[in-house]
Structure 1
Amino acid sequence: MAENVTIARPYADAAFELARGAGALEAWSEALDRLATVAANPDMQACFTDPKFSEDDVVKLVLDVANGKLDGEQQNFVRILADSERLQVLPEIRDLFVQLKNEHEGVKEVAIESAFPLDDATLKTLTADLEARFQAKLNVSVSVDPELIGGVRITVGDEVIDASVRGKLANMASALKN
């Protein structure tokens, strides 16, 4: 997996620079999402390595499955990936592109784990508080983890805010051991 990220990085960088230069970050993000979904399909991955398919066949197949919603530069990007036998790393290219786009736009990814489902009002208030604390726009994903017992655990980059009952119990146990 780390090897795929290493392989994908220069392609993601090139796509980002091309998209930024054209003022089309969102369009490229959507295109890479679509292409990553296509490339992640096991049947499509088999086609990438099948010697029965020529490079042109694979490019045509990918472009057809992507519903023809790619502009000329994006289609050329697919051709370059096919020529370099790198279509299989499209999911990693997409992930790296999104990271670059978020950094450029000042957006941070936030994972909120909650012991119970959060209602919309609570999530909205929590998101506003976190945006104020981190002084950035946040892209929030929420998951439910009953093992937290109560409260939430928030991860922003490499920073973790553990306001869960389980986390507090673990801190108390650690303090008692010392």
Structure 2
Amino acid sequence: EVGLLMTSELFAATNALLSSPQLRSALSDPSAQAAGKSKLVEAVFGPKLSKETVGLLGKMAQMRWSATRDLALTAEALGVRAAAAASKDIDAVQAELFAVGQIVSSDPQLELALSSTRASVEAKMVLVAKLLNNKATETTSILAGQAVHSRTFKRFAEVLEQYGMWIAEFAGESVANIRASKELSEDQLSRLSSALTKVFGRELQLNVEIDQEIIGGLHITVNGEVLDATVLTKLQNARLQLG
């Protein structure tokens, strides 16, 4: 598929940029001539990637970046969005990414094996393949594979969470990640969803994680931001009872 091809190519470009500080610096240099950057993009990526992807990378190289790493991060984000655009079931992909992230984050040894900079990419890819066990969608498999290479965050599960947020943004959604000390009933989830919808003025996708270290109550982040006292007060005013 065209969308997944661009995803794979953008991820390949991302990894090339991450592995070469010299390339990142050359393409991010604000003092460099645009023509020179275009030639460099063509020389490095032209023989390997499609004209569409090379053209996109060329346009990105013309932009001004506050840090050289931002160019690679943007290519990675665009790759995730291209995957979302190509997916026939975005909800399934989001659910799978969340489920895999929960499995990994709940197993310290597995998390270390997938997040350690000492482990080889090949070994990590084998672990990811075993984890997915040919049961995930093609889109999820590609995203989980890229998460092994990613330097967006130090932890593998955090990378998957970020991918989920990028996909939600593409779909026009917002994500609320909820950590609770025990399972929430359907009624509790419904009331929590209604309260958050009132606070934010839009419906949110709820991802719930059971965390035994949470002593009562909930820990809620929306699109990566922890709810502040004002939002918590509004939730209290909504008389949400989760006990």
What corresponds to 2:95 in structure 1?
A: 30
- Choose between structure 1 and 2 for higher RCO, CA contacts under 8 A separated by at least 6 residues: 1
Matches within 5 A, 1:1-178: 11-40=76-105, 41-44=107-110, 45-46=112-113, 49=116, 54-82=120-148, 84=149, 86=151, 89-103=155-169, 104-107=171-174, 109=176, 124=190, 127-128=193-194, 131=197, 134-139=200-205, 160=231, 162=233
Structure 2 unaligned segments of length 5 or more: list them.
1-69, 179-183, 209-213, 238-243
Offset at residue 129 of structure 1 (A): 6.4
Offset at residue 64 of structure 1 (A): 0.7
Offset at residue 42 of structure 1 (A): 2.4
Q: For 2:233, give the aligned amino acid.
A: D
| Separation in structure 1 between the aligned mates of residue 205 and residue 99 of structure 2, nearest angstrom | 19
TM-align CA RMSD: 4.8
Q: For 2:172, give the aligned amino acid.
A: E
Offset at residue 119 of structure 1 (A): 9.0
- CA 1:93/1:8 → structure 2, altered by over 3 Å: closer, same or farther? farther
| Separation in structure 2 between the aligned mates of residue 124 and residue 38 of structure 1, nearest angstrom | 25
Q: Which has the higher strand share?
A: 1
Q: Percent identity?
A: 17
1:115-163 deviation digits (Å, cap 9, x = unpaired): xxx997787567546635644213467x9868xxxxxxx9976652526
| Separation in structure 1 between the aligned mates of residue 95 and residue 176 of structure 2, nearest angstrom | 17
**Count of residue correspondences:** 148
Q: Secondary structure at the match of 1:136?
A: coil
Structure 1 unaligned segments of length 5 or more: list them.
1-5, 112-117, 147-153, 166-178
Q: For 1:46, give the aligned amino acid.
A: A
| Separation in structure 1 between the aligned mates of residue 143 and residue 188 of structure 2, nearest angstrom | 42
| Separation in structure 2 between the aligned mates of residue 10 and residue 56 of structure 1, nearest angstrom | 22
| Separation in structure 1 between the aligned mates of residue 114 and residue 195 of structure 2, nearest angstrom | 48
